[in-house]
Structure 1
Amino acid sequence: MNIGIRLGAPVEPTIWTYERIKNTYGEITDYVKDYINFAADDDANGPFYFLRALYDDAKDRDITPNDVARAWLNYTREGIGMFWWGGYGISTEHTAYVNLKKGVPAPQSGSIQQNGQLMAEQIGGQIFIDTWGLVNPGNPKKAADFGEAAARVSHDGEGVYGARFFCAAIAAAFETSDITAIIEAGLAQVPAESTYNRVARAVLKFHAENPNDFRACRDMLERDWGYDKYRGVCHMIPNAGVCILAMIYGQGDFNRTVEIATMCGWDTDCNAGNVGTVLGVAAGIAGIADKYRKPINDSIVMSGISGYLNILDIPTYAKELAILGYRLAGEPCPADLKESFVEDEIYFDFELPGSTHNIRISDPFFCQAKHSTEKAFKGTGSLEVVFDRMTRGEKSKIFYKPFYTRQDFSDERYSPVFSPKAFSGQTVSMEIYLDQWGGNETMGIAPYIRLANSKKELVQGYVKLVNEEWIHVEFQIPDSEGELIDEVGLVLEAYSTRKPKSLGRIFIDQFRIYGKADYTIDFKKQSVDFGCITPFAHNLGAWSIENGAMYLMTAETAEAYTGAYFAKDYSFSVQVNPHYGHSHLAAVRVQGAMRGYHAGFDGENQVSLFINDFGFKKLVSAPYAWQHDQNYMFKVTVQGSTITLYINDEEVLKHFDDTFAYGMFGVSTIAAARTSYSNIRFTEI
């Protein structure tokens, strides 16, 4: 899916017309643009975040449109990221979101009755649904039903049929690679009299008569099914035609299919992404060219409300989808699959074919990394790093990137924001095997982390590898002193003299970052990235860094969250200076914009604890004399079902509630306010 998105994104409409793509690039056979890292995209945001309805609400039953609508509201930062905010009545998703916020329930929020037929039949119902097909393998009917439920939050009519088609096609592709059979399985879940089915049949008929010229078929679509007939920003029907065209002319070849979808224009990234999912399942990893897979390096980023969840490791997510598939099918999940997926830590076992888990190399002249099944500490896979003719003092870093800043991206697509996935106090461990072919000294390694702002590398002790043996390497992440960590890994160093040079391989397996975090955030060492103060994701309000503090000014409810999404028991402290207004809160166990606890100043001389569960409810209050423009140290501790608020080391509130067992931390207000926040510390219990 993400290969298709990345291939099609640089030639999206409206500037890039079909003719302009053809005249500029001709036959597309590779990515047309290089990226430092590919930024977030709405076509990936929706499938990832909306699927969380299976965790939040539909835990033991089929989903409903309302379940997915709640995911929309919970994981979206209003007005930024997630999807295209093109205006109410222009962007279907923007329109549906506003409807939901105003209390219009799903599926009315996306209905023709509410929004009109033109708005309801745009392409979004087709592009945000791939994961519903992936978690229902071999069950096209159930996949289509789930896709329809999700699509009805924002779409109706033909817009829903696109969801049914693609979810069914994805599900069918698990059981056959015959592209005609896959297309028919998808169309079987769409009404025969629908326009969606008719445009698909028109393409299939044209292909049967002209099997070797996809551009002639594209001309037919332009003439008979084009944007002049199906209006709006990106209507479902012309793009559905392109998707069928790409699949039938691609004839089961993944690479050719996403290339054709891109060359056909219209909504290029959406179409190439959709057909990429279908063909990715059908063709498997072996069918995906290295030129397309390697730049992605098993990682993409998102732009939802959790900076932690926004960093996605694809092999780990593939396991999660498989586990959900077993759950939805009512079948027992294999023990080894369950054990290999750990949602609340970094665990890379390199078991899936070709997996690299986004491990990177700093100097590709000396080192190259790839997946291997030749050596494994556990299971069958590992990461193989070839080092080529290195001499004393020459080094290359081998590292995972647990955090990103703006300088890591070429553009600002959908404004991704990030919270680190590695923290001071945690443990990093891995198994390393040396297979050295040449050199008069054994290679050595030094574990290290890098700080995101200063770029300072904190290198741990030197470890000499042992040839033809696995060794265990483990270290505790040192105090980052208020900075964030953006690299975790090894410095591989040669100790051989010039002749003979060091040549060989190391294998890395069982890479983990785990344990209790204990760290501070110093705003003098942070920056403004994608409109947010690192490492926070802001939702509403105006935020800046002023005098070494994070400063908020807002006329309404506003929030800023960071930290590990699955953190359970912890203590969070922050110095709060309330400048104006009567709501100044610290937030804990936050699971999104609509779920979490908030504690602090609430009115004159009062403190309160709120639960936000799709609406704020006051749980408990107590008197507390406080003043504006004074510093107060808030500390909120969550342990089990106990929530305790301390102010200046004095316990002022304690309450018991077990609604939320885990979540992010941050700061918030539920009314107009100006506030400064500084001296943040987070400690897991």
Structure 2
Amino acid sequence: MGVPVKGLKKDENKYQLNENTLERIYAGWLGKVIGIRMGAPVEGWSSEEIQKKYGELWDYPVDYGNFAADDDSNGPVFLVRALEQVEPGRKLTAQDVAEALLNYAPYEHGFFWWGGYGLSTEHTAYLNLRQGIPAPLSGSIQKNGKTMAEQIGGQIFIDPWGLVSPGNPGQAAELAREAASVTHDGNGIWGGVFVAVCISLAFEEWPMEELIEKALTYLPSDCAYAEMVREVLKFWEKDKTGDWRVCLAFIQEHFGYDKYPGSCHIIPNAAVMILALLYGGDDFARTLCICNMCGWDTDCNVGNLGSIMGVRAGISGIDYEKWQRAVNDLLICSGTMGSLNIMDVPYGASCMARQAFALAGVELPGSWKELLENHLESCHFEYPGSTHAMRVRLEQAEEDENGDREYTAGEGCRQEALYRIYNTSEMSCTGRRSLKVEAEGMRAGAKLYVYQKTYYRAEDLYDNRYEPSFSPRIYPGQYLRAKVLACGIQGYVQLYVRDLNDGELLSGKKIPCQKESWLDLEFVIPFKRGACLGEAGLLFTAQEEGSGGVFTAYLDILEYGGEPDYEMDFRQERLESWCEHWSSTQWEVTQFTRVKGSTWLEDEWLHVSGTDFAETYTGSHTFGDYCLSAELKPLCGEKHLLNVRVQGAVRSYAAGFYGEGKLGLLKNKNGYQILAETEFFWETGKCYCIEVQCRGAVLWVLVDGKRLLEYEDCDGPYLQGAVGMSVFEGSHCAYRNLRAEGAHYQARSEQ
């Protein structure tokens, strides 16, 4: 992207980023998620089919509960992370985005539609990249043909490039063109440019038709996409009925699916987006609902409009009860990094906001600077309405006949109690907002849990067509911190985590609730073997009857981090099917994600095997300095390794047996390179304990307790990342007793 691209217009950026910009980025990303959730149940339907089933559809078609992963959110939230790898002073290129795609998309499962080479545009481009064909050739008409290059994906993943360019449409256009060209070309690119520019312009006040006209100036006037937009605009200007269905009939006649080749062409779907923008009356809900009722690729179309209209309306323009509460800020993903697959909407918005201010050269305002630079992973509740996917569960001293129930934000009522959580500006400790928790009728001994789910099983999610798999977000050895103010009844509060494998509750010290001052709580989770931590939060215990009063608490910060101290017992894990309704081929070992190859369990061993290579990961992307150890049993082939500091499929270190009679330390930089090696004569079928120690840029490799390799990486070292196992060249290896430890390892090393 070093030179301006033909067809793109450069602007002087006059928009000034401010605190309101942050809220609009959140509103835009939330709008995207709302639109996807709204459109997913009727994806691929015609307008006639939707009308026959629902009539007028002015709500979510389906109550999903926990909405699972979707390609329309996977692409945006992971591909924008390409900006993190761009050095200061260098512009983003298509190859940067291509490497992000290779890093976060597993091989032919999860992430997006794997419809086959020459059928699915993204699948085709991904395989091109895997074979060393660089971007933008990977997505070009020259390589893949015009039909493949002009399908809808060029615009459905494009939202972040507008969100990181508030009021700077020239920048949005350039970023979008580079990103879209990885997988698309021609009108596939111009659609991405158009949508990103619309999002960028939405940060300023424009009449809708002027916003559309201005966005068109960033497209070649003779491209089919621009011609379609102008035709729909002309029809709207002449239409005296104001009836969007009249315009839909015009689109079906002139720009319908029958007019364009491929499975999901960009032009018909973009046409109904323009219709909705013009007939939506500048109203967030009406615009999205009209687009949904138009049919075709609804989650894509309504998702893009959600971004545009979310930014335009701001958070106050999105009805909380009707649209936001159901989402509860939860965003499930299906990339290579399991701890990133359990995400919330504020986290994604904050990542984009941080990039937006950095690109503009503007310092983050007020308390946002500290939050986004040092507490990005935390629950901070500073976005209006945000809940960070927190939940509440009440356990009375005596269970009723229905047993305990779990509720999301704003819901939950039984005979004995009413309990709810919601965002408020009434109280705060570190910023302006907090999460308010209320419960009525708590009896003595009642326990109120306010928590995040930190791990999901297949049965927890409504629809797993995009095959998510997870690693927990928190581990033994790490800390859990919170700031809380509680009042209403006498009682205690403590931090806790729950182990899903054996049901054990691990908790910190009970602290009496204080009505007048905020409590700073911290709990360091003790070492545990065989754990899978699935909940993390606060436990409030009532000391006396509520007597009709209301228990109230305010939560300002909830965060977890630090280094791990745990050991996996593979006898506690299981194989889960993540795609039982679509395919029986997607099985994953619990707590692991898989890039490629096959993984399975036999007794206490986890097996990893592949035709060429196989890699599987667990742990958190936030792990820093730690030691990883495991027993390895090579069973076939010559390359058997442990991975550390894993940041995705093309960024990690690996250490282990790398050829006959060799021990190696390697770095994956979109391809493995040997950093250090030594002779070590290992045998097939024999067990070895391999240990990899990481401190700063220095790594050590030990076999059976003997240090054999040491290397300092002075070329862009990876300083954080998860753990994993990998084999190459058709190898097969079994692993057991996988141990990750941070603070304890550091203390030993210093003795």
Do they fold alike, i.e. is TM over 0.5? yes
Amino acid at match of 1:674: H
* Match in the other structure for 2:740: 682
1:326 maps onto 2:373 in alignment = no
Give how far 1:210 is off.
Answer: 4.0
2:75 counterpart residue number = 46
What CA deviation, in whole Å up to 9, does each residue of 1:635-685 have, x standing for no partner?
101112221111111112112213322222111112111211110111124
Pick from 511, 515, 539: which aligns with 2:595?
539
Q: What is the distance in 1 between the residues matched to 2:456 and 2:328?
A: 15
Residues 76-112 of structure 1 deviation map (CA, whole Å, 9 limit, x = unaligned): 1110112111011110111111111122221111111
Report the counterpart of residue 444 of structure 2 in structure 1: 392
Asked if residue 158 in structure 1 is aligned to residue 187 in structure 2, the reply is yes
1:393 deviation in Å? 2.9
Distance 1:102 1:494 in 2: 61
Query: Which residue number in structure 1 is paired with residue 512 of structure 2?
Result: 464
Distance 1:661 1:513 in 2: 18
Q: Residue 58 of structure 1 contacts residue 67 of structure 1 at CA under 8 Å; is this kept in 2?
A: no
Give the SS at the match of 2:257: coil
Aligned residue among 513, 523, 543 for 2:560 = 513
Identity over aligned pairs, percent: 40
Q: Are the aligned partners of 2:528 and 2:565 in contact in 1 as well (CA < 8 Å)?
A: no
2:312 aligned with 1:312: no
Report if the CA contact (8 A) 1:177-1:282 is conserved. Answer: no
129, 138, 141: which one aligns with 2:158 = 129
Decide whether aligned partners of structure 1 residues 325 and 371 sit closer, same or farther in structure 2, where only a CA change above 3 A counts. same
Cα 1:403/1:59, change in 2 over 3 Å = farther
* In structure 1, C-alpha distance between the alignment counterparts of 2:254 and 2:604, rounded to whole Å: 61
Counterpart for residue 324 of structure 2? 293
**Normalising to structure 1: TM-score of the pair?**
0.96
Which residue matches 1:236?
266
Partner of 1:105: 134
Q: Please say if 1:503 is aligned against 2:555.
A: no
Match of 2:538 in 1: 490
Partner SS for 1:81: coil
Secondary structure of residue in 1 paired with 2:700: strand
**Alignment check: 8 A CA contact 1:110 1:153 kept:** yes
Match of 2:729 in 1: 671
Q: Distance in 1 between matches of 2:491 and 2:240?
A: 60
Question: Deviations for 1:199-237, whole angstroms, at most 9, x for unmatched residues?
Answer: 212222222314521112111111111111112111010
Answering whether residue 301 of structure 2 is matched by residue 271 of structure 1, we say yes
* Number of the residue aligned with 1:632: 688
**TM-aligned CA distance change 1:222 to 1:102, over 3 Å:** same
Which residue identity lines up with residue 708 of structure 2 in the other structure?
V
SS at match of 1:362: strand
Distance 1:542 1:312 in 2: 26
Residue matched to 1:527: 574
Moved more, 266-275 or 487-496: 487-496
1:667 counterpart SS class: strand
Shift of 1:521: 1.6
- What RMSD, in angstroms, separates the aligned Cα atoms of the two structures? 1.8
1:170/1:277 contact within 8 Å kept: yes
CA distance in 2, matches of 1:109, 1:359: 41
The 5-angstrom pairing of residues 205-224 of structure 1 reads 205-208=234-237, 209-210=239-240, 212-224=242-254
| Structure 2: runs of 5 or more not aligned | 1-31, 395-411, 579-586, 747-751
C-alpha distance in 1, partners of 2:545/2:719?
56
The more displaced of 143-152 and 359-368 is: 359-368
Cα distance in 2 for residues equivalent to 1:532 and 1:57: 33
Q: What are the superposed Cα offsets for residues 391-423 of structure 1, whole Å, 9 maximum, x if unpaired?
A: 223333110122222121112121112122211
The Cα of 1:493 is off from its aligned counterpart by 2.9
Would you say the 8 A contact 1:361–1:368 is kept in 2?
yes
Deviation at 1:53, TM superposition (A): 1.3
SS in 2 for 1:252: coil
Residue identity matched to 2:293: M
The one-letter code sitting in structure 2 at the alignment partner of 1:80 is H
Structure 1 residue 550 displacement after superposition: 1.0
Q: Is the 8 A contact 1:323 1:337 kept in 2?
A: no
Partner residue of 2:232?
203
Task: Spell out, residue by residue over 1:276-319, the C-alpha distance to the aligned partner (whole angstroms, 9 max, x if none).
Answer: 00000000111112221112111202111111222222223322
Q: Distance in 2 between matches of 1:211 and 1:304?
A: 46
Give the Cα separation in 2 of the matches to 1:592 and 1:461. 37
Superposed counterparts of 1:612-631, under 5 Å = 612-631=668-687
In structure 2, the partner of 1:348 is 379
The 3 A distance-change label for structure 1 pair 60 and 372 is: same
Amino acid at match of 2:348: Y
Q: Distance in 2 between matches of 1:176 and 1:264?
A: 27
1:284 to 307, 310, 314: 314
AA of the residue aligned to 1:501: G
Summarize the alignment of residues 403-482 of structure 1 with structure 2, pairs less than 5 Å apart. Answer: 403-436=455-488, 442-482=490-530
**Which secondary structure state, in structure 2, belongs to the residue aligned with residue 228 of structure 1?**
helix
Distance 1:60 1:416 in 2: 36
Q: What secondary structure does 1:308 align onto?
A: helix
Structure 1 segment 562-573 matched on structure 2, within 5 A: 562-573=618-629
Partners of 1:668 and 1:343 in 2: CA distance: 32
